[in-house]
Amino acid sequence: MSRRLQSVISTALTLILFTVLPICAANQLPSGLELLLSQAGIDLTNLTNQMAMIGVFIAVVTLVKGFVEEASPLYLLASIASSVVTLAFTLVTLGVGDLTSMGISTITIDVEGGFNTMILDFRLFIQLAVLSVALQIAHSVLQFMEARQKSKIERTPIPQIEIFDTPSQYEPVIA
């Protein structure tokens, strides 16, 4: 299967998983659960919209990476953008829709005698995600440099060696 076809298939799957599925799932939730989530401080519409935007961006980057050569600076830019958007997706997911919370989610639920508050601290996972993205970017740069070296070698013409076909060309010329 060609790289371009793989890219188109991957783009379609990414759009379905990160864009269509979250929006459809949010629309299928019972109204009681939506009310409970909104009382807990989770803006479901904002969360699904952010996930959908990130999904569209990842799909576009995947498509670009499939149609450009690995030695192209555009491929490097797309690889770096893909890593950074993956980090943003992690931040949105662990922050329950709040990108700026940096992994600390506060969920407050109103109960009969008062309030129950949960503070979820995912900062360790955010730090691991940042480290992972940094390593992915370093890998992308090294992969780009290797592809550039290969393309440079492929573009360099090989010197042609002249081979004599007939014995008369071997004989010295007497003047």
Where do the structural domains in the chain lie, given as residue ranges? 3-169
* pLDDT, tens digit, 9 for 90 and up, residues 45-70: 888 888 889 889 999 998 998 888 88
Q: Whole-model pTM above 0.75? A: no
Check if the beta carbon of residue 78 is closer than 8 Å to that of residue 68. Answer: yes
Alpha-carbon span 138 to 175, nearest angstrom: 66
Give the integer Cα–Cα distance in Å for 175 and 172.
10
**Dist. CA 114–CA 71, nearest whole Å:** 60
Cα gap 54→82, rounded to integer Å: 10
How do residues 83-136 score in pLDDT, each as one tens digit?
999 888 888 887 776 667 777 777 777 777 777 777 778 888 888 989 999 999
DSSP one-letter code for 166? S
